[in-house]
Amino acid sequence: GNSVTQMEGPVTLSEEAFLTINCTYTATGYPSLFWYVQYPGEGLQLLLKATKADDKGSNKGFEATYRKETTSFHLEKGSVQVSDSAVYFCALRNQAGTALIFGKGTTLSVSS
């Protein structure tokens, strides 16, 4: 079946540190891959996406590259800010029109 595995949190970093949140997936076919972010007390927002192998999604300084050979979509940011503190969810969609499948989420806490 289809599934998403994220690194366990929480992740605690100092401001300006480098961030990596690992995400690997299992899927039949060629899924689209997503990172969503949930800020405290808010809804779920799309952060970035990639729809085919070797695509790089990027937004707000975050990046993730779709690696088919390692079935991974790791989220990175070169210099985190306190405002990046949130829960990050990796997700896949195996076919257009089907529902997203989410990982368990990783809580990021950034201190100044």
Report the alpha-carbon distance of residue 64 to residue 73 in Å, rounded.
Answer: 6
| Nearer Cβ to other proteins (72/94) | 94
Interface stretch with other proteins, choices 17-25, 69-77, 78-86, 94-102 (CB under 8 A):
94-102
Window 11-50: residues binding other proteins (CB under 8 A): 32, 34, 36, 42-46, 49
| Closest distance of CB 102 from other proteins, Å | 5
Q: 111 and 60 in contact (C-beta within 8 Å)? A: no
- Residue numbers at the binding site for other proteins (CB under 8 A): 32, 34, 36, 42-46, 49, 51, 89, 93, 96-105
